[in-house]
Amino acid sequence: MISGVGLIAIRDPKGIRPLILGKKDNDLIGSEYMFASESPALNALEFDIVGDLEPGEAVFITLEGSLHRKVCHKSPSNNPCIFEYVYLARPDAVIDGISVMRSRLRMGQKLGKKILDTYPDHDIEAVIPIPESSTSSAIEVAKFLGVNYREGFC
């Protein structure tokens, strides 16, 4: 917030960290805006998702509620941090239009296939997720390998 001027949010030019914009119409004060790194924060407060900011994009909202968007970096690129999808984000989040849960399921399927391709005669008895955010991927690996899924660490 720039005192007396408005609100500004800027996504890094490489798109490493997510940033999403939400809007809620308020009969008393007009449109309200909110920025968050994950969509569930907007959903919890009943904001409609406007969309993800592009890498290097700045959004300025005046005190009167006028919204202005512009990519301000001369050579932005989209290089999201894989750890957002693997460890950090909530499973119900959508980042850059990609469901975190679906991406974790696909990662588990690809890992299961790689294990089978590399070790077709594996002697794996169970798959245990570490850390907890890998549960959905671990379940998919276990299903793909035809072995047990187990909780092993608390």
Tokens of 135: 């549960």
pLDDT for res 11: 97
DSSP string, the chain: -BTTTEEEEE--TT--S--EEEEEEETTTEEEEEEESSHHHHHHTTPEEEEEPPTTEEEEEETT--EEEEE--SS------HHIIIIIS-TT-EETTEEHHHHHHHHHHHHHHHHHHH-TT----EE--SSGGGHHHHHHHHHHHT-EE-----
Q: What predicted TM-score, i.e. pTM, was given to this entire model?
A: 0.83
Q: What percent of the chain has pLDDT over 90?
A: 82
Whether 21 and 59 have beta carbons less than 8 Å apart is answered as yes
- Domain-wise residue ranges, the chain: 6-71, 97-149
Q: Residue 28: its pLDDT value, please?
A: 82
pLDDT, tens digit, for every residue of 69-112? 999 999 999 999 999 998 899 999 999 999 999 999 999 999 99
**Best CATH choice for the domain 97-149 from the list 3.40.50.2020, 3.30.160.40, 3.30.450.20, 3.40.50.12780:** 3.40.50.2020
Place 27 in a pLDDT band, splitting at 50, 70 and 90.
confident
Side-by-side strand order, sheet with 67-71? 6-10, 57-62, 67-71
